[in-house]
Amino acid sequence: MTLVMVVDDDQDLSEMLGIVLTGAGIDVDLVSRGDEVMDVFRNNPPDLVLLDVMLPGMDGIEVCKLIRAESMVPIIMLSARGDAYDVVRGLEAGADDYMVKPFKHPSELIARIRTRLRRTNTDISGLLTICDLAIDVQAHQVLRAGKQIALTRLEFDLLVALAKEPGRVFSRDALLREVWGYRHSTDTRLVNVHVQRLRAKIEHDAERPEIVVTVRGVGYKAGVMGGS
In the complex, the residues that contact other proteins under the rule CB under 8 A are 10, 12-13, 16-17, 19-20, 23, 54, 80-84, 101-103, 105-107, 184, 186-189, 217
Side-chain-facing half-sphere of 76: CA atoms under 13 Å: 24
Pick the closer one to other proteins by CB: 71 or 192: 192
CA pair distance 222, 130, nearest whole angstrom: 7
Task: Give the shortest CB-99-to-other proteins separation in angstroms.
Answer: 10
Question: In the chain, which ranges are E strands?
Answer: 3-7, 27-31, 48-52, 75-79, 97-100, 127-130, 133-136, 141-144, 147-149, 170-171, 212-215, 219-222
Pairing of strands 127-130, 97-100: unpaired
Of 88 and 143, the one with the shorter C-beta distance to other proteins is 88
- 116: which residues sit within 8 A by CB, 6+ positions away? 48, 74, 76, 96, 97, 153, 154
Q: How far apart are CB 88 and other proteins at their closest, in Å?
A: 10
100, 82 Cβ separation under 8 angstroms:
yes
Which lies closer to other proteins via its Cβ, residue 38 or residue 80? 80
Residue 27 beta carbon to other proteins: minimum distance, rounded to whole angstroms:
18
- Nearer to other proteins by Cβ, of 141 and 185: the residue is 185
Smallest distance, other proteins to C-beta of residue 42, A: 28
Side-chain half-sphere of 74: how many Cα atoms within 13 Å?
22
Q: How far apart are CA 153 and CA 159, in angstroms?
A: 10
Least distance CB 162 / other proteins (angstroms): 20
Q: Which residues pair with 141 in a beta bridge?
A: 136
To the nearest whole angstrom, how small is the minimum distance from the Cβ of residue 62 to other proteins?
A: 18
Q: Residue 119 or 183: which CB sits closer to other proteins?
A: 183
Specify the residue, 17 or 161, whose C-beta has the smaller distance to other proteins. Answer: 17
